[in-house]
Amino acid sequence: MLSEKIVLDYSIPKTLFIKLSGDWQISAGLLSVNEVTSQLTSHSDVTEVNINVSEDLKWDSGLIAFLLKLTKECEQRKISVVRENLPQGAQKLLSLALKVHEERVLSKISHASFFEKCGEKVLQIRESLASGLDFLGDIVASFIRLIAGKVYFRWDDFLLIVQKCGVDTLLLVSLISLLVGMILAFVGSIQLKMLGAQVFIADIVGISMVRVLAAVMTGIIVSGRIGASFAAELGMMQANEEVDALKTLGVSPVEFLVVPRVLALVIMMPILTIYADLMGVFGGFIISTGMLKLNPVEYLNHTQTAVKLSYVWIGLIHSIVFGVIVAFAGCLRGLECERNAAGVGKATTSAVVTGITGIVFATAIITFICQVLGV
């Protein structure tokens, strides 16, 4: 049924007079143009639509949106529209909206199907592997140039990054390592208690922390904290064209931005890992002596005999590899970042995911190699 705000008049042949009245503001809701177009369909002889308004008409964009749609419908049906009786402002807005603007659309939302999207993702794997290898090659080449003394290296920046990677992360590493050591002691004690071999808790905590767990936990913490911040920093620099400014100055972004970050993490990760080893063992010590009533000296002696020097080296190798992985992921994602706020968010998430996935893969590979070598 036609709304009371619209009155149609067919008194003159081939002309439809439309009189609009009442409240046509957005707050009153929009009327569907179908109410009028259905009339045009049933009166196919109409060649002109003449729009009038009453004096009590209240209008804003709601009216213009309606008229715009009506005008376009009429254009499609080759019906001319007389707009002269509309308020001046409405005429102006309608003309502005009907102007033809030809702008090139550079990118649009993709309406690909689920399978197409899956296919695109798979194809992207090859590209991202290639760009990752390229980036790794650039880092290696930059390190060679650094050793040869051909790289402009800002020591102040480097020390700031070292501080951020080390000192600022220390508290979190302490807490997590201590808790992991305590959890290991608890879980181990349940099994060992049944065998009456609780004293071997020291071996379990010591070996697992020093050999792999301290490095893995530190790697994950550093990935979440430092890797993400690398990606966000470099992403923002990319968005603000700071990276472009470096390139035009003839400075390689990898040498200027990536090398200090990789170096800082490669130096700080082993130090943090040794610290995490000690905190983990201390966590096990607290539970063993405080709750399971083991002799403190006996606990420390067992730890000393169980943890071989080679285990410490294996832990340190893990940590160096993780340092490289986290810095690599953070810097790569940051430099690949799209130049907008959403891009920075995506880069940060992706850096953490890539970092942690890389850490798990690297742990598996190193463990396998150690197994083969019998270490």
Task: Count other Cβ atoms within 10 Å, centred on residue 236.
Answer: 18
Minimum distance between the CB of residue 165 and another protein, rounded to whole angstroms?
Answer: 30
Alpha carbon distance 311, 292 (integer Å) = 26
Contact 276, 173 (CB under 8 A): yes
Q: Least CB distance from residue 86 to another protein, whole Å?
A: 11
Q: Cα 340 to the chain's mean position, in Å?
A: 12
**Contact with another protein (CB under 8 A) among 6, 53, 65, 170:** 65
Instruction: For residue 307, give every residue at least 6 positions away whose Cβ sits within 8 Å of its Cβ, in sequence order, or none.
Output: 206, 207, 210
Closest CB 104 distance from another protein, rounded Å? 8
SS3 state of residue 59? strand
| CA–CA gap between residue 311 and residue 289 (Å, rounded) | 24
* Rounded CA separation 178/187 (Å): 14
In the block, tokens 């709601």 appear at 62
Pairing of strands 6-9, 15-20: antiparallel
Shortest reach from residue 343's CB to another protein, in Å: 7
The tokens describing 214, both together, are: 């301290």
CA dihedral sign of residues 99, 103, 107, 112: positive
CA 322 to chain centre: 21
Given the complex with another protein, which of 348 and 363 has the nearer CB atom? Answer: 348
**240 or 295: CB nearest another protein:** 240
Q: C-beta of 25: minimal distance to another protein in Å?
A: 8
Distance, CA of 267 to CA of 262 (rounded, Å): 9
In the complex, the smallest distance separating the C-beta of residue 109 from another protein, rounded to whole angstroms, is 4
**64 touches another protein by CB under 8 A:** yes
Residues 164/261, Cβ–Cβ less than 8 Å: no
Task: Considering the complex, state which of residue 62 and residue 219 has its C-beta at the smaller distance from another protein.
Answer: 62
* Count, residues near another protein per rule CB under 8 A: 34
366, 269, 278: which is closest to 322 by C-alpha? 269
Minimum CB distance to another protein, residue 236 (Å):
13
Q: Rule CB under 8 A: which of 44-63 touch another protein?
A: 60-62
Other C-beta atoms closer than 10 Å to the C-beta of 202 total 26
Taking the complex as a whole, the smallest distance from the CB of residue 92 to another protein amounts, in Å, to 4
Q: Whose Cβ is closer to another protein: residue 68's or residue 317's? A: 68
* Cβ closest to another protein, residue 99 vs residue 293: 99
Q: Which residues pair with 19 in a beta bridge?
A: 7, 52
Quick one: 315 or 334, whose CB is closer to another protein?
334
Selected from 1, 4, 13, 27, the binder of another protein by CB under 8 A is 27
Q: How far is the CB of 35 from another protein (least distance, A)?
A: 14
Per-residue contact string for residues 323-342; x = within reach of another protein by CB under 8 A: ---------------xxxxx
Residues 6+ away with beta carbon under 8 Å from 311 = 207, 210, 211
Rank residues 64 and 176 by Cβ distance to another protein and give the closer one: 64
Q: Does 38 bind another protein (CB under 8 A)?
A: no
Site for another protein in 85-124 (CB under 8 A): 88-90, 92-93, 96-99, 101, 103, 105-109
**Of the ranges 66-74, 126-134, 148-156, 230-238, which one interacts with another protein (CB under 8 A)?**
66-74
- Report the interface residues with another protein, using CB under 8 A: 26-27, 29-30, 60-62, 64-66, 68-69, 88-90, 92-93, 96-99, 101, 103, 105-109, 338-343
